[in-house]
Amino acid sequence: MSTPTTVSNTSTASNAPSLLSRLPNVGTTIFSVMSALAAEKGAVNLGQGFPDFDCDPALVDAVAAAMRAGLNQYPLMPGVPALRQAIAAKVEALYGHAYDAGSEITVTAGATQALLTAILCCVHAGDEVIVIEPAYDSYLPAIELAGGSAVTVQMALGADGYYVPWAQVAAAVTAKTRLIMVNTPHNPTGSILRAADLEALADIVRGTDILVLSDEVYEHMVYDGVRHESLSRHAELARRAFIVSSFGKTYHVTGWKVGYVAAPAALTAEFRKVHQFNVFTVNTPMQHGLAAYMADPAPYCQLPAFYQRKRDLFRDGLKHTRFRLLPADGTYFQCVDYSAISSLAENDFAQWLTAEVGVAAIPVSAFYRKPRESGIVRFCFAKKDETLGAALARLATL
């Protein structure tokens, strides 16, 4: 009779189990790095994209009322029906596309989860996804987790700001292209897609099985009287698109992590297969509170004017510096060219600006797969007026 082998369940530094990373190229994000540096140096943090002011107390009251009413258990997997109905009504009123609340709207745990779930549900090993850079930092890791390959196309920068070179996007399409990702209004550049851009995109995907993932979390932050060109406005594109938005951005509650996806029923069915095992469902009282709050469209209808005033305040202040302002047609971000101030690389300049001038910014090079130096950094102006004033006073020394 053989003697049983004993396997130790203890680990030491010399025999600790190894782990093969699913994301070997991902480290600490630039947002965490710059926020930590800002805290260390006592800098005004215009780096990370979140407000430093509170939401409407009526929204908090609506959530509290839902909690007190006992709405604290699991909701339906796709989301609370009242909230999905409110979303569908808003989209139809603003953009003219009638989504079915039952089969075409899904509430998500923020936009980042929505993006990941959309990619996981349609991208398979060997598929290619066209990503337009600079791009939000979750796109590429999500594609990698799905087993796909990102094909990047870089935005061009002209006198009117950043724009998408659609001929290059068309040239990047191959037989393996499964998905094209677009973002409007665009983070980090503050540019927007216009009707002609949607037509160019439609020309590219027409007659193919290519899907589109449209990140529209800043949909209510488009300025100077220009309308937001949601892909849901374009019937041909809407038939093949996952459209993502965020209550966190719209209602100044980024920490709540509630968003949604609108997509045709067939796409939504596949989205929900992944969603139910990804997060299953989303915070119940917040969904009920948001549904009640959405009965009044004024908060999101007034948002363009609210943020345009902050944008203009910030831009007027920056005119007294040596920064060159790039157009800011949407989002709550302002990009600036600092080449008249310094020849430092973007990451080095952002760290110098934080440590020595006392204002934190984000290098735009961080939004590329391979850092690309353009001499541009991004500020966030979703801040109290006094926060912006303090930052501008420091930047005025440049």
Rounded Cα–Cα distance for residues 222 and 230 (Å): 11
Report strand pairing: 376-380 vs 333-337.
Answer: antiparallel
What is the structure's pLDDT at 28?
Answer: 82
Q: Is 99 left (phi over 0), alpha (psi -120 to 50) or beta?
A: beta
d(CA 118, CA 272): 9
Q: Is the preceding peptide bond at 188 cis, omega within 30 degrees of 0?
A: yes
Lowest mean pLDDT among 25-29, 306-310, 327-331: 25-29
- Displacement of CA 260 from its chain's centroid (Å): 12
Identity of residue 114? A
How is residue 258 annotated by DSSP?
A: -
- Structural domains for the chain: 30-49+301-395 (3.90.1150.10), 59-295 (3.40.640.10)
pLDDT band at 4 (very low <50, low <70, confident <90, very high): very low
**pLDDT (tens digit, 9 = 90+) per residue, 202-240?**
999 999 999 999 999 999 999 999 999 999 999 999 999
Higher-confidence position of 145 and 12: 145
- Return the minimum-mean-pLDDT range out of 20-24, 69-73, 95-99, 210-214: 20-24
Average pLDDT over residues 163-190: 98
pLDDT digit string, tens, across residues 341-354: 999 999 999 999 99
Task: Give the pLDDT band of residue 159 (cuts 50, 70, 90).
Answer: confident
- Burial class of residue 302 (count of CB atoms within 10 Å of its CB; 0-12, 13-18, 19+): exposed
- CA-CA distance, 1 to 7, in Å (whole number)? 19
Checking if the pLDDT of 1 tops 80, the result is: no
Tokens standing for 180?
A: 């094209």
State what percent of residues in the chain have pLDDT above 70: 96
pLDDT of 6 > 80? The answer is no
Residue 374 pLDDT more than 60?
yes
Question: Would the pLDDT of 193 be above 60?
Answer: yes
Q: How does the average pLDDT of the chain come out, rounded? A: 95
pLDDT tens track for 269-327: 999 999 999 999 999 999 999 999 999 999 999 999 999 999 999 999 999 999 999 99
Between CA 49 and CA 51 the distance in angstroms is: 7
**Band (147; pLDDT cuts 50, 70, 90):** very high
Residue 397 clears pLDDT 80, i.e. is over it: yes
Q: Looking at the predicted structure, is the pLDDT value of residue 3 above 70?
A: no
Average of per-residue pLDDT across 387-396: 97
pLDDT score at 292: 98
d(CA 286, CA 75) in angstroms, rounded, equals 11
Instruction: Give me the pLDDT at residue 27, please.
Output: 84
The C-alpha R_g of the chain, in whole angstroms, comes to: 22
5 confidence band (pLDDT: 50, 70, 90): very low
* 264: its two tokens: 């045709």
Say if residue 79's pLDDT is above 80. Answer: yes
